[in-house]
Structures are given as structure tokens and as C-alpha cells.
Structure 1
Amino acid sequence: METRNREPYKKVKAFLIENEVKHKDVAVLLDMKPNTISKKLNGFGGDFTLDEVKLMHSELGVPIAYFFEPRVPKKEHKLIS
């Protein structure tokens, strides 16, 4: 069984669901297989590159901060709000 490499992109996943964007749509945009997108989103694959993040932001409207928030220490979350 595969283990997670990192925390899943929970906010990105929620954004895609709320906006009815399928993994297949993201895969076409990023020229990847849907399985690769799923692995990246769920923490089993690598991280998204900055170019991929920018493309998802410009084409799908995914907030860039959603890709980086899990790495911000909890004590600093209040400062960002």
C-alpha cells in the first residue's frame, strides 16, 4: 500500500468539487493523466510545480494560497487572516 508523501491539498480538492472541476479537466490543462492529478491532490504523488499552480490559478481560478497553506505554522494562521 502506498503511503502519503505529504498532506493532501484539501482546500484545492474542495475548490475543485465546489466548482465542478473534474480531475480529468485538470489533467487536460496540465497535460497529465487524471491518476497523476489524483495522486498529487491526495498526497501520494509529488507536489505541484509553480508553473502548474499558476496555470490552475489563471485558468480555473484556484487561489494560489490553497497550495501553500498546509505548510504555514498554525500559530501564524491568525496573522494571515
Structure 2
Amino acid sequence: MDTSNRQPYNKIKAFLVENKIKHRDVANILKTKPNTISKKLNGFGGDFTLKEAQLMHIELGVPIAYFFEPGVPKKEQRYIS
């Protein structure tokens, strides 16, 4: 499965920065490596599982809706040529 074209989790990334939560902290909660978290957040790894979303919501306060946000609507996209 090619996951390199998936949209990054920008709202989750912003939430982590705003709350000074490091990828290492998320990795400890999810029992994985910080590099894996970085890849998932930036759209180069797989999606977060429902269990991972639940843990991040419970342990870190990440709004659950952030895991299900659709991409930017076409009318709001800018095309760069």
C-alpha cells in the first residue's frame, strides 16, 4: 500500500507544538518510535489506528475530530504552476 500521498495531520501537529508535546512523548504512549510518529504525522507512514487515536485523546487531550478531518476543500486550494 502506497502511503506517501496521504495528507499530513496538520491539526495534530499544531496541537502538539502548541502544547509542547514531543514526538518522543507520543511514541512512549503508543509504545513505538518517535520516527514512526513523525512519519505518520507528515503523511509518509500509515494512518493512526483508532486505538492510537483514542490513546492520544485520553492521554494528551488531542481532539478526536483531528484524526478525521477531511482535506482542504477544492475551492480553498491554490494551484501553483
Place the TM-score, normalised by the shorter chain, in its bin: 0.7 to 0.9
Distance between the aligned counterparts of 2:50 and 2:5, measured in 1?
Answer: 18
RMSD between superposed Cα atoms in Å: 2.0
Superposed displacement of residue 73, structure 1: 6.2
- Give, as a single letter, the amino acid of the residue that structure 2 aligns with 1:19: N
Q: 1:16-35 residue pairs with structure 2 within 5 A? A: 16-35=16-35
Give the structure 1 partner of residue 78 of structure 2: none
Gaps of 5+ in 1: 76-81
1:22-67 CA distance string (max 9 Å, x none): 0000000000000000000000000000000000000000000001
AA of the residue aligned to 2:40: K
Identity of aligned residues (%): 77
* 4+ long deviations beyond 6 Å: 72-75
Which deviates the most, 66-75 or 48-57? 66-75
Deviation (angstroms), 1:71? 5.2
CA contact (8 A) 2:6 2:43 kept: yes
Matching residue of 1:7: 7
How many positions carry a matched residue from both structures? 73
SS of residue paired to 2:70: helix
TM-score by length of 1: 0.82
> Higher helix share goes to which structure?
1
Counterpart position of 1:48: 48
Unaligned regions of 5+ residues in structure 2, if any?
76-81
